Amino acid sequence: MLHLKIISTFAIDMNNTRFATIIHILTILAKSPSEWLSSDWIADSININPVIVRKELGVLQDQGWVISRKGKEGGSMLNVSSDEITLADIYKAVKNTNVLGKKNLCPNTKCPIGKDINTELEGLFAETDEIVFAALQRRTLRDFVGQFN
C-alpha cells in the first residue's frame, strides 16, 4: 500500500514512446517495400497524430533510411535493406540521455562525495549505454520484422 503510493508518486525511466513509435514506422515500411505509404496511413496503424509520424520520418530521413516524396501519390518508403539497420542504430537515433537517467545537476563540490560523484556516474552511465548498444547491435530491423506474419 505504502509501496504502491511511492511508485505512483515517483515515476522512473525512459518515459517516452519514441523507440516504439519509430520501430513501428520502420516495420510498416519494411513490410511494404517499394510502396509510398502516407503519414496518415502509418499514423492510423500506430494510433497517433500524423504530425508526430512526419517528424519521426524526418529523423529516419536524416539517417538515410527513408525517402519521402511530397505531393499527390507521395509518401515514404525504406531507402535501405532492412538488414542494414540494427536495433542499436534505431536506439541511437532516438536516444539522448543515458540508460540510467540523468546525473544530478549541481552536487555540492565541498562534499568529498558530491565533488566526484558525477565523474564516477559518467563512467558507469557510459558503460551501461555501451552494453545496451552492443546487445542491440546484434539484431537488425529485418530480424524484428520477421517476427510478424
Residue 149 is a binding residue for its own copies (CB under 8 A): yes
Q: Shortest gap between Cβ of 71 and its own copies (angstroms)?
A: 21
Sequence-distant (6+) residues with CB within 8 A of 143 are none
Q: Which three cell numbers stand for residue 73?
A: 501519390
Q: Quote the radius of gyration of the chain (alpha carbons, Å).
A: 20
x/- string (CB under 8 A) for its own copies, residues 21-60? x-xx--xx--x------------xxxxx------x--xx-
Q: How big is the chain, counted in residues? A: 149
Specify the DSSP element, H or E, that contains 15.
none
Helical packing angle, 87-94 and 112-137, nearest 10°? 140
Residue recorded with cell 562534499: 111
Of 5 and 110, which has the nearer Cβ to DNA?
Answer: 5
What single-letter amino acid sits at 114? Answer: G
Contact residues for DNA, defined by CB under 7 A: 2, 5, 9-13, 15-18, 37-40, 48-52, 54-55, 57-58, 61, 68-76, 102, 105
Q: Residue 66: count other Cβ atoms within 10 Å of its Cβ.
A: 20
Residue 39 binds which entry of its own copies, DNA, none, with Cβ cut-offs from 5 to 8 Å by kind?
DNA
Residues lying near its own copies in the complex (CB under 8 A) are found at 2-3, 6-7, 9-21, 23-24, 27-28, 31, 44-48, 55, 58-59, 62, 87, 91, 94-108, 111-114, 116-117, 120-121, 124, 127-128, 131-132, 135-136, 144, 147-149
